[in-house]
């Protein structure tokens, strides 16, 4: 009944939106579409409002966050908004000395590598991110029946930035800690699971209709290592937000060999990158979960006909699925032509209209 619906969905009338119906594997009027990293650098209107404001500062200004989150919804008519923030915002909020360097990504002055360093990772409290509560409330008012997706970084991906001190290709310090001091590693991931859970709670309680856990770099691990050293912490995050009743999406890049485990960790929807076709991904994930994906973001640089051919392949591979949300296989690349994204949304909507 309507009374059993999650608070945010009941207040804003998003419950029957195509996006949330697809997450619940119910029939949809058309395949819903949104794009990871849709809010941001591919849009000229984004550059205009961000001018002279540092990335992390922009995340703390509710009016600006609201405007940036709405920009791709207005422009592309996507079926969901994703909250404009970054995976390192909750770490900044508990006092970690990090910055987001343009063109580089998150950089941490003093990496976390010893037991003493762990003490710097105190629990996140809702009051630490009051600006998130305020922005989400503003957004759900503005969005009406369009759902808002909240998000957070998963413990492994956050640990990688904290332990390496910045972006890393090989994650060598992270793996050295994971293999060399399993107890310290487990304690680190446990603290990060608490921070991530609390950050998602804040967004859901303020009205987000769904959440996505980004474990962007977890494809660097073997299934055995993922199961042993990472999955317990991610499972704790999914478990801790389960009582809200909103769909939980789990995404990582390069995770073909991990797809089954990403679902098992507790997700309702598994995000798939472009390396595994969706019909094969469905076999790996197993029944009872919707899939999200999975056109290669680089395809958007090809001519319109080629983009449509690749989109058609994705839709054909998804034809037998029980719950499909169309997305890219990873985030929108900064130099993407925004019109190519708008056309892709329209293509998927018209091709799948029922």
Strands 269-271 and 98-101: unpaired
Annotated ligand binding at 40? The verdict is yes
CA distances from 107 to 55, 112, 145, 219 (A): 13, 12, 37, 21
Applying CB under 6 A, the site for ligand CP3 has a residue count of 21
Q: Is residue 39 within the footprint of ligand CP3 (CB under 6 A)?
A: yes
Annotated ligand binding at 37? The verdict is yes
Cβ 311 vs Cβ 346: under 8 Å: no
Of 79, 86, 201, 268, the catalytic one is 86
Q: Is 5 a catalytic residue?
A: no
Cβ at position 166, least distance to ligand CP3 in Å: 10
Annotated ligand binding at 152? The verdict is no
Q: Is 50 a catalytic residue?
A: yes
Contacts of 113 (CB under 8 A, 6+ apart): 163, 173, 177
Cβ at position 159, least distance to ligand CP3 in Å: 12
Q: Is residue 105 within the footprint of ligand CP3 (CB under 6 A)?
A: yes
Can you tell me which of 20, 23, 33, 36 binds ligand CP3, judged by CB under 6 A? 36
Can you tell me which of 41, 227, 275, 310 binds ligand CP3, judged by CB under 6 A? 41
Q: Is residue 84 within the footprint of ligand CP3 (CB under 6 A)?
A: yes
Q: Is 161 a catalytic residue?
A: yes
Question: How many of the other CB atoms lie within 10 Å of CB of 313?
Answer: 15
Q: Is residue 86 within the footprint of ligand CP3 (CB under 6 A)?
A: yes
Which positions from 263 through 302 interact with ligand CP3, judged by CB under 6 A? none
Of 5, 21, 24, 37, the catalytic one is 37
Q: Is residue 87 within the footprint of ligand CP3 (CB under 6 A)?
A: yes
Q: Is residue 82 within the footprint of ligand CP3 (CB under 6 A)?
A: yes
Q: Is residue 216 within the footprint of ligand CP3 (CB under 6 A)?
A: yes
Which positions from 154 through 183 interact with ligand CP3, judged by CB under 6 A? none
Q: Is residue 44 within the footprint of ligand CP3 (CB under 6 A)?
A: no
Cβ 139 vs Cβ 148: under 8 Å: yes
Of 46, 83, 161, 226, the catalytic one is 161
Q: Is 227 a catalytic residue?
A: no
Which positions from 313 through 342 interact with ligand CP3, judged by CB under 6 A? 331
Q: Is residue 55 within the footprint of ligand CP3 (CB under 6 A)?
A: yes
Q: Is 83 a catalytic residue?
A: no
Annotated ligand binding at 330? The verdict is yes
Cβ at position 309, least distance to ligand CP3 in Å: 25
Query: Which residue numbers belong to the known binding site?
Result: 37-41, 86, 161, 216, 330
Query: Which residue numbers belong to the known binding site for substrate?
Result: 37-41, 86, 161, 216, 330
Q: Which residues are catalytic?
A: 37, 41, 50, 86, 161
Q: Which chain residues interact with ligand CP3 by CB under 6 A?
A: 36-41, 55, 82, 84, 86-87, 100, 102-106, 151, 214, 216, 331
């Amino acid at each position: 009944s309507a009374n059993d619906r999650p608070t945010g969905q009941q207040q804003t009338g998003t419950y029957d939106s195509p996006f949330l119906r697809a997450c619940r594997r119910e029939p949809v009027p058309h395949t819903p579409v949104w794009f990871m990293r849709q809010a941001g650098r591919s849009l000229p209107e984004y550059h205009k409002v961000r001018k002279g404001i540092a990335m992390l500062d922009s995340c703390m200004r509710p009016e600006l966050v609201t405007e940036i989150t709405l920009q791709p919804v207005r422009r592309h008519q996507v079926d969901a908004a994703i909250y404009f923030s970054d995976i390192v915002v909750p770490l900044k909020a508990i006092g970690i000395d990090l910055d987001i360097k343009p063109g580089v990504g998150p950089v941490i002055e003093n990496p976390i590598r010893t037991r003493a360093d762990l003490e710097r990772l105190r629990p996140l409290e809702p009051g630490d991110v009051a600006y998130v509560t305020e922005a989400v409330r503003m957004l759900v008012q503005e969005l009406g029946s369009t759902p808002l997706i909240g998000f957070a970084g998963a413990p492994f991906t956050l640990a990688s930035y904290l332990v390496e001190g910045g972006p890393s290709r090989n994650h060598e310090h992270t793996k050295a800690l994971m293999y060399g001091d399993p107890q310290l590693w487990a304690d680190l991931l446990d603290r990060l699971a608490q921070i991530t859970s609390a950050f998602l709670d804040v967004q859901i309680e303020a009205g987000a209709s769904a959440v996505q856990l980004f474990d962007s770099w977890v494809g660097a691990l073997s299934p055995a290592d993922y199961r042993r050293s990472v999955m317990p912490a991610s499972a704790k995050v999914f478990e801790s937000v389960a009582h809200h009743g909103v769909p939980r999406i789990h995404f990582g890049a390069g995770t073909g060999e991990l797809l089954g485990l990403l679902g098992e960790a507790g997700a309702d929807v598994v995000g798939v990158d472009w390396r595994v076709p969706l019909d094969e991904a469905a076999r790996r994930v197993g029944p009872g979960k919707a899939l999200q994906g999975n056109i290669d973001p680089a395809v958007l640089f090809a001519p319109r006909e080629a983009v449509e051919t690749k989109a058609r392949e994705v839709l054909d591979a998804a034809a037998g699925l029980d719950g499909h949300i169309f997305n890219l296989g990873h985030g929108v690349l900064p130099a993407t032509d925004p019109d190519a994204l708008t056309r892709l949304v329209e293509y998927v909507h018209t091709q799948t209209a029922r």
